Amino acid sequence: MVKSFRSHKVYRTQFKGGAHGIMKAQHMSELPVRVVMIEASESLCEQVHQGVREVCHVEWGTVPADVLRLVRAVAPHIALLDADLFKTPEGFGEAARVIQELKRLQPALKIICTSGAGMECARAVAPLGVYDVVTKPVEAGILVRLIRRACWLSAAECHGGAAHRAPASEASEASEEMIGTGEGIRRVFTAIRKVATTDLPVLITGESGTGKELTAKAIHERSGRKDHPFVAINCGAIPDTLIESELFGHERGAFTGAVQQKKGKVEAAQGGTLFLDEIGEVPIALQVKLLRFLQEHRFERVGGRQAITIDVRVIAATNVNLKDAIARGRFREDLYYRLAVMHIHLPPLRDRNGDVLLMASVFLSQLAHQQGKRVKGFSDDAIRAMKAYPWPGNVRELLNKLRRGVVMAEGPYVTARDLELSTGEEAVSPEPLGRLREKIEVDFLSQALARHHGNLSKVARDLEISRPTLYRRLQRYGLVRRPE
């Protein structure tokens, strides 16, 4: 079977420790690097394709007979061969013969071989000038890195040695990335690049788990303030009585327990960026002082009389609809327009077709390395389940599912069961009404706790129940109570 992945524009942003960068991929017509893969595992091909699709056009087959036909039809720059498919009882002679034929057809072809008998295969094919030989079992991430490096080298050769920046080593990459193939995430990357050059306030909106803080950090790291602090404060995780002090600091004796002067997050961000997460949770009374600070860049500590001038850029984020909050009288309209000078909306993962498998492949490689597990990919049922699942928790939920999957996996491939995802093929069995009600209630409580970062007062208000009732239910279901 031969499968073709048609090239299209793909946009990917990698956030690396200390140097966040944005890379806009080129269309196949601008960077015409073509790859042919002959590999028995469709899931491995799918994962490798997701990791390299931004720099090349990929076609693959699953049987040895496909290789010469594909090479003649596609005229590739790179070929990935599962050498074990060509192995005979006598060894890798047939694999060597095929490689010689490929080199005759495409003298500049870069060939990467994979084999369960790495040294034996290498001895047979290395003298033929192959690009690399990789021993199985092999992680998709390793093949992705090899192909990407070969792609950049081929592109440079095709353009007469034109300078193309090679991809950074995966070892230097941070554990979180924003990766995208759709129009919505492309607009996000474009907006990040544009707003980073200004000092205007930015409002980032999106569902919980879509990467709002990561986006704020990307803006900071690409701005002229990147050498100064990035200070984040979660406005929804701090009790209403303490948030003003956390933001602006306090003087000694300002209130009971204020035994010494304390600088707030605003002062800590001097010269850099202040990130106000969950800005919609700020009490209406404090919004007045926050608005004045945004207008004048001046404030007073709690209990203080001296005005302090500060130079910071403010980026705010929320997962609530602030216009609805304005209509209900819970958010000031003038503050909204002051914050939303520049607006970036992050699309939910369910609206980003094709991104789930791409991100899952990248994250799986990183998590497997962290856990010391020899996990190299996903089973077919896991791929189907990930495609079908709506991902209400977005990227954060995907990461958590993958963390569990890596730990639970008993073989080289993570299954749908390891991820706790339904394949849609399980038999539906009746469930007692009481147990079903408990599941629904636990789900609602868990989501509310996550939404309000463990603040029980806000959870109770959101669910329209009393705080004592909330506490009893949390105890009944064994949900961990987070500090407010």
Residue-wise pLDDT for 195-245, tens only, equals 988 899 999 999 988 889 989 999 998 889 999 999 999 888 888 778 888
483 vs 89, which has greater pLDDT? Answer: 89
Question: E strands, 17-75, where?
Answer: 21-24, 34-38, 57-61
| 2-173 homologous superfamily | Response regulator (3.40.50.2300)
Cα–Cα distance for residue pair 153/164, rounded to 1 Å: 8
Mean pLDDT value of segment 275-285: 91
Block residue for tokens 């926050």: 290
- Beta sheet of 202-205, edge-to-edge order: 230-234, 273-277, 313-318, 202-205, 342-345
Lowest mean pLDDT of 44-48, 374-378, 452-456, 476-480, name the range: 476-480
* Strand residues in 31-118 grouped as ranges (E): 34-38, 57-61, 78-82, 110-115
pLDDT-based confidence at 423, cuts 50/70/90? Answer: low
pLDDT band for position 344 (cuts 50, 70, 90): very high
352-414: CATH topology? Helicase, Ruva Protein; domain 3 (1.10.8)
Average pLDDT of 386-397? 89
For the segment 404-414, the average pLDDT, to the nearest whole number, is 89
**pLDDT value of residue 434:** 60
- In angstroms, rounded to a whole number, what is the distance separating the alpha carbons of residues 356 and 397? 11
Query: How many alpha carbons fall within 13 Å on the CB side of residue 148?
Result: 20
The domain covering 208-332 belongs, at the CATH homologous superfamily level, to: P-loop containing nucleotide triphosphate hydrolases (3.40.50.300)
- Name the region of 425 (left: φ>0; alpha: ψ -120 to 50; beta: rest): alpha
Contacts of 62 (CB under 8 A, 6+ apart): 1, 38, 39, 40, 42
Q: Is the pLDDT of residue 16 over 60?
A: no
| Average pLDDT, integer, range 95-120 | 86
Can you give the pLDDT at residue 437?
67
pLDDT-based confidence at 49, cuts 50/70/90? confident
Residue position matching structure tokens 């597990």: 373
263/365 Cα distance (integer angstroms):
41
Place 315 in a pLDDT band, splitting at 50, 70 and 90: very high
Q: For residue 445, give both structure tokens.
A: 């409580």
CA distance 225 to 221: 7
Whole-number pLDDT of residue 22: 25
Q: What is the pLDDT of residue 142?
A: 81
Any idea what DSSP says for residue 32? -
Tell me, yes or no, if the two domains 2-173 and 208-332 fold the same way.
Answer: yes
- The domain segmentation of the chain, as residue ranges, is 2-173, 208-332, 352-414, 433-477
Nearest to 441 by CA among 473, 466, 394, 465: 473
pLDDT band at 482 (very low <50, low <70, confident <90, very high): very low
* Stronger pLDDT, 327 or 452, i.e. the higher one: 327
Q: How high does pLDDT run on average in the chain?
A: 78
Q: What share of the chain is helix, strand, coil (3-state, %, to 5)?
A: 45, 15, 40
Q: Which range among 73-82, 127-136, 202-211, 364-373 has the greatest average pLDDT?
A: 202-211
pLDDT at 312 over 90: yes
- Confidence (pLDDT) at 181: 56
> pLDDT tens for residues 119-175?
888 888 877 778 888 888 888 888 888 887 777 666 555 543 332 333 333 322 333
CATH topology of domain 433-477: Arc Repressor Mutant, subunit A (1.10.10)
The enclosing H or E element of 308 equals strand 308-309
Q: What is the pLDDT of residue 440?
A: 73
Higher per-residue confidence, 240 vs 7:
240
pLDDT tops 90 at residue 274: yes
Mean pLDDT computed over 433-451: 72
Name the amino acid, one letter, at 235: C
For residue 475, the model assigns a pLDDT of: 76
